[in-house]
Structure formats: C-alpha cells, structure tokens
C-alpha cells in the first residue's frame, strides 16, 4: 500500500503516471534486501535541501555496495521535471531509490554492474501545524555499524523501526524513543529528536547508530544563526524526562512537537514553533 496519492514513477528513463511495478521476483534487492532510498519534500513549490537528499541517496547506495547510476545533478533535473505535473500548492513526498538486480559472484551481495533505479513522487499532506506526538520507551535498540548498514538509508533497517512503532502503539503511544547500543537516547523510530532545557536545545551526538538527518542539520544551523545554543551530546533517558520541551525533526514532517514521553507531559512547544518558522523562512529565501 502506498503512503500517498497521485503517484508518479520515474523508471527506465521516463515518467509514468502510476504506482509502477519496478522490481522483479529474482532481483537481488527483492529477496536479499539490498535497497536504499532517500526522502525529500516539495511543499508549495519549495524543495528544501533537495540537492543534499539526491547526493545522500548515492552515498547510501555506495555504503550498501550498490553502484549509483544517476548523478545528483541529473536526479535534480528528473525530479523537477516530474514535479511539473502537480499543482503548485501540492505537498509531494519525493523518494529516489536504488536496489540490487543481479547477485554478485559470491552469491549474496549485489552485482556491481547492474543497479535498479527509480524515483517515486506521492502527494502526502504535511501534518497540521498544531499536531503533536506521544513517545514511550521500546525494548528494541538501534544497531551499530558492525551488525547493520547504519551509514545508509536502507530499507533493510526499517523492519526494526517498524517493531519499535508496533510496541509503542500497543502501549497507547504514537512513537518510540529509542536507545543506542549502550542505552543512551539515539532518536525515535522515525526521526531525529531534540530536547530543550531553558533556552538551550540539545540533541544526541551522532555515534554511528543513526543517521544525523539533513533536516536535523538544517534546524541546528537555523537555530544557531538565530542565537540559540544547540548542543550535540550524549543524552540519557533521565535527561529526556526532565526536559522542558522535545521535538522531532525529519524530512517527512520537518518538525513535530512532542506532547509527552511516557508520563512526562512537556509544558512547552515554543522552540519547535520557532524552529518551524525559521525553517520555512529559510526555505522561502533559498533559490
């Protein structure tokens, strides 16, 4: 089932006005899991950091032993061409993807000389401005590079995230606050996270267990430019519960305030509101 509606697929050199079948049963990515993707957004004609997302999917492909076949610059051109079919005010989720087609000589990894490539566009509305999310603990943790391809945005990582969400929802919460390998806060099941104490924003320092997202980095830059102290550090779950405020950052929603973490109700969403305004002001001022 697709995430959104009004789907367009770029495959084999052209755009198709449908959710097109692109992988075959014998493709290496289908049965052995070598696939990567990235996510970007077009909102009211703005495509914040689209160039960085196009570059990152190629980096993810290389980390997954896949051979990128489309340059970031060409990817940008293809995506912009595909977006012309949408209403200028539409909110569109942009997803370039690579996957393995043939198996390598060892019989497991993707063959270097053949990589599948597609781009999927879907209309998906942005969350309401007053939306907020609830968090709880999960027993599942983020993996480390020694046992998973944590330096790629790989489809193979997401079943672990899905069971985090399933556990959280079974407890009556919308999302899960996830630990790294040693038990400190890493991120949530779907996005990076910030905590606010007084006038300072704190976010877990990248330690190889999660992707330090493009949108996360943009919020850090915007907040610092606006005079906010932003600290990347080890964050404990005890600190998370004592914060005045928390918010998620990621491409899909850009920013999402947290209503509560278990029984801790956060009294403020001021920094999240400020960060959202800074983000869209920045996006509107960027060519």
Q: Give the tens place of pLDDT for each residue, 222-267.
A: 999 999 999 999 999 999 999 999 999 999 999 999 999 999 999 9
CATH 3.20.10.10 domain locations along the chain? 133-285
| pLDDT per residue as tens digits for the range 5-18 | 999 999 999 999 99
Q: What is the pTM of this model?
A: 0.95
Query: Do 101 and 189 meet the contact criterion of CB atoms below 8 Å apart?
Result: no
Task: Return the half-sphere exposure (C-beta side, CA atoms, 13 A cut-off) of residue 168.
Answer: 25
- State mean pLDDT over 21-27: 97
Is the pLDDT assigned to residue 2 strictly greater than 70? no
pLDDT of residue 3: 79
Closest of 139, 199, 152, 201 to residue 35, by C-alpha: 152
Overall average pLDDT of the 40-57 stretch? 97
Rounded distance, CA 243 to CA 235, Å?
A: 11
263-266, long-range: CB < 8 A, 24+ apart: none
* pLDDT for res 214: 98
Residue intervals in the chain for CATH 3.30.470.10: 5-123
Q: Predicted confidence band at 1 (pLDDT cuts at 50, 70, 90)?
A: very low
As a whole number, mean pLDDT of residues 25-39 equals 97
For the stretch 138-176, pLDDT in tens is: 999 999 999 999 999 999 999 999 999 999 999 999 999
192-219: average pLDDT? 97
| pLDDT digit string, tens, across residues 67-92 | 999 999 999 999 999 999 999 999 99
Pick the CATH number of 133-285 from 2.60.120.260, 3.20.10.10, 3.40.640.10, 3.30.1360.40: 3.20.10.10
Q: Is 131 left (phi over 0), alpha (psi -120 to 50) or beta?
A: beta
CA separation for the pair 129, 131 (Å, rounded): 6
Place of tokens 């040693």: 182
Mean pLDDT estimate for the chain: 96
Q: How deeply is 103 buried, as exposed, middle or buried, from its count of CB atoms within 10 A (0-12, 13-18, 19+)?
A: middle
Q: In this structure, which topology does domain 5-123 adopt according to CATH?
A: D-amino Acid Aminotransferase; Chain A, domain 1 (3.30.470)
Residue 152: the pLDDT is: 97
**What percent of the chain has pLDDT above 90?**
97
| Strands 200-204 vs 229-233: parallel, antiparallel or unpaired | parallel
């Amino acid at each position: 089932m697709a995430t959104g509606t009004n789907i367009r697929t770029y495959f084999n050199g052209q755009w198709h006005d449908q959710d097109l079948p692109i992988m075959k049963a014998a493709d290496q990515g289908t049965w052995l899991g070598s696939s990567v993707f990235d996510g970007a957004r077009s909102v009211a004609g703005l495509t914040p950091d689209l160039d960085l997302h196009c570059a990152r999917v190629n980096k993810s492909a290389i980390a997954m032993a896949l051979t990128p076949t489309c340059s970031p610059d060409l990817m940008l051109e293809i995506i912009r061409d595909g977006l012309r079919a949408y209403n200028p005010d539409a909110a569109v989720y942009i997803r370039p993807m690579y996957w393995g087609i043939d198996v390598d000589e060892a019989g497991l990894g993707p063959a270097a000389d053949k990589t599948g490539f597609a781009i999927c566009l879907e209309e998906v509305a942005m969350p309401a401005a007053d939306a907020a999310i609830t968090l709880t603990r999960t027993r599942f943790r983020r993996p480390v590079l020694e046992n998973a391809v944590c330096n790629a945005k790989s489809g193979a990582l997401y079943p672990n995230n899905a069971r985090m969400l399933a556990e959280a929802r079974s407890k009556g919460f919308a999302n899960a606050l996830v630990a790294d390998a040693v038990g400190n806060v890493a991120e949530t099941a779907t996005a990076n996270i910030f905590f606010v104490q007084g006038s300072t924003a704190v976010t877990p320092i990248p330690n190889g267990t999660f992707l330090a997202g493009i949108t996360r980095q943009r919020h850090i830059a915007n907040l610092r430019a606006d005079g906010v102290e932003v600290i990347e550090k080890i964050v404990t779950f005890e600190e998370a519960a004592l914060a005045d405020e928390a918010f998620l950052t990621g491409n899909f929603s850009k920013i999402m305030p947290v209503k509560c973490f278990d029984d801790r109700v956060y009294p403020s969403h001021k920094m999240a509101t400020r960060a959202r305004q800074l983000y869209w002001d920045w996006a509107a001022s960027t060519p």
